[in-house]
Every structure is written in structure tokens, then in C-alpha cells.
Structure 1
Amino acid sequence: MKICAITMVHKDYWALNQWYEHFGGHIGHENLYIVSHGYDPEIQRICPKASVITIPRDELKHFDRVRMRLINGFQSGLNNIYDWVIQTDADELICFNPNKYPSFQALFESTSAPALFALGLNLAEIEGDAPLEEGEKVFPSRNVAAVTGNYSKAWAVRKALPLRWHGVFCGHRKTADFPFEMPDDVFLVHLKHANSEALKETNAVRQSVADSVGEDWSVNGWAKPDFHAKRFFRKLAAAKELPWDDAVAYGYEQIRDNPVRDPERGIVKPPFINYVCRTILPEWFADV
């Protein structure tokens, strides 16, 4: 089985290094494709064995929609070569319990669905966590997370199905029957809040982008990024804490059992429920 992964990035070097090492360790670094938004030799340095595709960074207004069409176009092309294409943001990792799935291939062989979703976990750095050293993997040092519908995204396709608004575009007539496949023990982990030093750098870049575009910029979390970060940590602290097994069961109940089927836009996606609960990751995450 041939599997690849694709992402698009501008700076965000710490998260990109985590993405590169995580997916490269599972499916081979040569099967990674990175779309660099603007020429940046640092990306090739961080990801020396990946294929880096550079696109111009000269027009940012309405770019989120352009970005969605662009990366889905690359994904569609890769679907002609690979059996499965993984598509995530650079600060998102797909993690599965190794006791259930020994590899991505075993995971994909276990399903007949055309696309897969994963239960979302928003990983956090909390008070008392030691700073991460350069090149250090995140999971041995971070284990507090919020279960979230917002990041229970579609992340892999076996056909040229566009990913949109955290879900799958399957066509206006197919939303009622399209499978919302979210396998047990598979998680999409969002890393944005897991490294406070990297978060400062990322927020500075996002604020600069929002300021340069002005009032037409509407990408959530980019305008006023410091406000969004403070709100995340405040709501994480206030969320109900549950043991891992209970948190996952509750997350599936709230998210997997309630997909959003939108025939007007032809989209099947997770419900945008943030801060379902807070939990501590099990030890197996340290080895993923």
C-alpha cells in the first residue's frame, strides 16, 4: 500500500519539524509533500527528504479559500499515485494506539470508507511543564489535552475527495449517506498550544498577516491571536476533567454520533464543539 502526507505552511518551524518527523517515521520522509507559502530555505533544511513545493506569497486577501482549492488540487493529483493521501495542517498529527493498529497501513486496511475522521485533541503546555528543547518530540513532555469537535477533522482520503471546512465535500446529493468514519483509538492532535515559545512566534506571524491584509481578513484565530490563545487556556482550565477512557467515550458520544450533514454545501463534517472535556493522555502517546 502506498501512503503519503501533504501539508501547507508559512514559517511555523517548530510544528513543521514535529509533523515531518512524526509522519516521516511512519510512512517514510520521501512520501511527504510540503507546500511552502513563499520561498523559505528553512523549510527544506528542516525537511531535507521531503518534496517541497513553493508557491508565491504576494496576495493574501481571500487566500484561505485559494489555499483550500490549491492543496486539494495537489491532493487530487497525489491520489492518482498513492492509495491513501493524508492531509493535515503542519501543527496537526494523527496518532493511533499501537496496540490496535501497528501502522497506518493496518489502519487503512481496516476500513472500506473513502475518507477518515479522527477524534480531536487540543494539546496544551500547562504550568510546570518544562520548555521543549530543539528537536525534542512533543508527547513525552506534554500530556494534557482538551477533547474537541473543532479538530475532529477529516484527514485522509483514498479518492480525490476535497477536504473543506474540517470535513469532506462529497456532493450535494450524497451528504445523507456519506460515511462519517471515525475509527476507535485514532486521534488528531493539534499542537498549537503545546509549546509556549513557538506559540509566541506563531502568533506574531499571524498578527502581522492580519494587520497587512486589514479588515477583509477573517480567518479565525489569525486576527487577535493572543486573545484566542488566552481564551483557550482559560477554557481548558475550566473544562471538566475526565479519565482518558471516559473522556474518549464522551467525545465519541458528542462528536462521532452527531456529524453535521450539510446538503446545501455538499459537506459532511464534525460538529464544532470545543472543550468537550479535559483529560490526561495515556502513556502510549510517548512512543508514537
Structure 2
Amino acid sequence: MQTVAAAITMVRDDVFFLKAWLRHYGRLLGRENCYVINHGRGAEVAELAEGCNVIGIPGDPHPNFDMKRWRLLNGHVNGLRSYYRHVIVGDVDELVVLDPAAGNLLDFLAQQPLRRVLTPVGLELIHRPDCESLDVGECLLGPRRFLRHAPHYSKPCVLSLGTKIARGGHFSQASKLNTPEPLYLIHLKYCDYTQYVAAMDRRNRVTQELGVGVKQAAIGQHWFAEARGEDSATFAAFAALPLAEAFDFSKVRRRMHRSWKPRGETGYWQFDRPEADRQYVLPDRFFGLV
């Protein structure tokens, strides 16, 4: 049994993303090293995650849902670090991937020094309905081949150091920034129009049950119907993003390091996160990886 790396996430009903998460980490790490917190004890989640370590918890809606979630994830990550060299933590629609030109993720992590936090460059896999099929199927990379740089998802999510991660997973209290060149975090939220609509409908129902507004809840603004916007317009806008000439993020990493600084008096650290201004074409070597 390998003890190089484990992966942990929390999920409630998002079975499309859970299937991708399980395929990715189950294949790379082994299901026995995958930890799925089943928020609401959903039967389908438990069935899909068979062979993983499934932890069922109550699913009552709560305005401080995200704070509670990351308090729980922080505790589990710090516990699992006693048994694994590295722990990968994040939302179920986020996958840490290694450029295939650099080998496979497990071997890569086995060679990384301990007592550090790794921050992959964040990329959003985007569905271009103007030139891609409507139904993506199970294989995502290949049928979907456009991405946009997403600084908000360059998260400190691979840990071999005892530290605290902020709500949402966007910041940590580790003062050293490590951005390995071949490491990426791929965010799947926009990878399929049909699945996006279904997921947003579920999130809007959750916040509607809470009966509070954006300012009264410690939940991402995107969970609220009033902040959603028009779905078709959101996806149509992807086609207008300028196309980058090369799949190269060396300048992005340098900019992250140049702007690295304390996040006020919070104890967390951050880099500047400019808005995405271009899209990229995924190299063929990534096809089939997820």
C-alpha cells in the first residue's frame, strides 16, 4: 500500500464531478487512499465511492456551511499527514494534474521534499458550445480542450506541512510559496454547459432553503440565484477570449512569486489574482488524463 499521497474532498449530490474525481485519484493513488466526506449521507455518493474511505455527515443547510466545511477538512488533512507524505485537498470539481511530459503525479510527489505546501497554477476547463459537442461523456480532456487561466484556483492544495487553510481553500498560513512547473489544478465548473446548469440549480436550491442573503452567509456568492446571471451568455463569452500563442505559464508563476505577501493581519499569505484575459488550447499529451 502506497503512503506517498492521499486525496480528500467533500461532496453533496455532485455525482458528475465525483465520478471524475474518483476516476482521477482512484487510478493514480488507489481508492483506499481516497477520502470522501459524504455531506448528507447520499446513497448515490456512497455507492459511487465504494472502495474509498467514505465519511458520512449530516447535511442540514447552514449559512456558515463553507466555514464548517473547511474546519472539518483542515482537521482531516492534519490527521492524514501523520500517515501520508502529501495530502491533496479541494472541492470535488478540482483536480490536481501533472503535465504528462513530467511523468505521473504519484511518482512526482514521491520525489518532492517534505514540510512544504505546493500551489499548482489554476486553470478552468471551459466548454465552447460554438465548436464543441454538447455532451462531454466521461473523458473530459480531449472532448474539452480549451482552458482559461484562473488565479482564484491557484490553491495551496498539496500539503506535507502542518498549516491552516482558509475558507474556500484559496489561502494558507504557509509563508513559503512553492509552484512546481509541471503542476496544475484544473477546475471543472465550466467544463460542460448541461452539467453547469444542473449544478447551479442544486446550489441555488440550497441557498434558497437557508432563507438568508449573500451578506448573511459564509458561502460563495456564486451559490445564490441573484448572482448567477444568464447561463448561455456566460458560456458564449468564452469564445471572445483572445487565444494565447502557447501553453506556457512561466510568466504566471513569476508574477505569483513577485506579488507574494501577507494577507493583511489574518496570518494567511497571498499573491495578486488578476482577471483571466485569454484562453489556451490544451496540448494533445493531456488528452485522456481526466
TM value normalised by structure 1:
0.89
1:166 aligns with 2:170: yes
Instruction: Structure 2: state its 5+ residue gaps.
Output: none
1:273 alignment partner AA:
P
User: How far does the alpha carbon of each residue in 1:247-278 deviate from its partner, in whole angstroms, 9 at most, with x for none?
Assistant: x2343244344234225111123433231421
**C-alpha distance in structure 2 between counterparts of 1:276 and 1:117, whole Å:** 21
Contact persistence 1:147–1:277 (CA under 8 A): yes
Could you say which residue in structure 1 is the equivalent of 2:9? Answer: 7
SS at match of 1:167: coil
Query: In structure 1, what is the equivalent of residue 105 of structure 2?
Result: 103
**What does residue range 121-270 of structure 1 map to in structure 2 within 5 Å?**
121-127=123-129, 128-132=131-135, 136-164=138-166, 165-170=169-174, 178-213=175-210, 214-215=212-213, 216-217=216-217, 218-224=219-225, 226-227=228-229, 229=231, 232-233=234-235, 236-246=238-248, 248-262=249-263, 264-270=265-271
In structure 2, the residue matched to 1:273 is 274
Residue pair 2:136, 2:144 contacting (<8 A) in 1 also: no
Distance 2:178 2:65 in 1: 29
SS at match of 1:89: coil
How many residues are matched?
A: 279
Name which of 66, 69, 79 aligns with 1:77.
Answer: 79
Which protein has the bigger strand share? 1
What percentage of residue pairs aligned between the two structures are identical?
Answer: 24
Shift of 1:232: 4.6
What displacement does 1:113 show? 5.3
1-side partners of 2:181 and 2:113: how far apart?
11
CA deviations on 1:162-196 (whole Å, 9 max, x unpaired) are: 221512123xxxxxxx2110110211000011011
Residue of structure 2 equivalent to 1:174: none
2:246 and 2:48 map into 1 onto residues whose CA distance is 33
- Could you tell me whether the CA contact under 8 Å between 1:244 and 1:281 is conserved in 2? no
Contact 2:181/2:250 (<8 A) preserved: no
Instruction: Tell me if structure 2 keeps the 8 A contact 1:30–1:51.
Output: yes
Contact 1:96 1:185 (C-alpha < 8 Å) held by counterparts:
yes
Give SS of 1:154's match.
Answer: coil
1:251 to 1:86, Cα distance in 2 relative to 1, 3 A:
same
Residue equivalent to 1:175: none
Alpha-carbon distance in 2 for matches of 1:211, 1:244:
43
Distance 1:81 1:44 in 2: 24
Q: 1:92 to 1:264 in 2, by over 3 A?
A: same
Rounded to whole Å, the distance in 2 between the matches of 1:252 and 1:64 is: 28
What is the alpha-carbon root mean square deviation over aligned residues?
A: 2.1
Counterpart CA distance in 1 for 2:198 and 2:111 is 39
